[in-house]
Amino acid sequence: MSRPWRKRLRSAFGYLLLLIVVVSAVDLWRSRDMPTTLAVLGPLTTLEGKELDLAALSREEPVLIYVWASWCGICRFVSPMVNLVGEPLVSIAIASGPDARVTGYLAQHGYDFAVVNDEHHVLARRLGIQATPTLMVASKGELKYATTGFTTLPGIYLRLWLAKIRD
């Protein structure tokens, strides 16, 4: 490898490392008001009428919790990746309108993940959500990881894997 390429590669690695540090610091700062336990949510009901107990669901394996909104620009990029993750996944649509509107939005975009409609932003306030999208990983009844804003599919899988090996 020639010297200019090595220098560019080293520089790119340095920028990547800096980006990881900044993103991690922002995530820590934004998640400071988030609770550590899922008990604050209580029982949830999906748009299909299915009752969910996230604490019980997360006892077996880590659960991805995706907080999003139909009006969120970044969610339009993150939602298709979240849709690929599969179960166990629970999403919370905040301030996106009545159930029929959210159901129509999901059908229009081909999303098949479970959705709890938080039309009046109650659950988001309980979780301390300040921005969308927010992705959290719950394991053993506790919130383990949270990130806000754009994330990638490998980043989602990495957080789920970390929660699995840390338990």
For 10-48, the pLDDT digits (tens) are 888 787 777 666 766 666 555 566 656 777 778 899 999
pLDDT at 41: 78
**CATH superfamily for domain 35-166:** Glutaredoxin (3.40.30.10)
* Backbone angle region of 40, left / alpha / beta, with phi > 0 → left and psi within -120 to 50 → alpha: alpha
Domain extent listing, the chain: 1-33, 35-166
pLDDT at 29: 58
* Phi, psi for 165 (deg, rounded to 5): -80, -20
pLDDT at 32: 61
* Phi, psi for 101 (deg, rounded to 5): -65, -45
Residue 1 in this model has a pLDDT that exceeds 60: no
Residue 139 in this model has a pLDDT that exceeds 80: yes
Structure confidence at residue 116 as a pLDDT band (50, 70, 90): very high
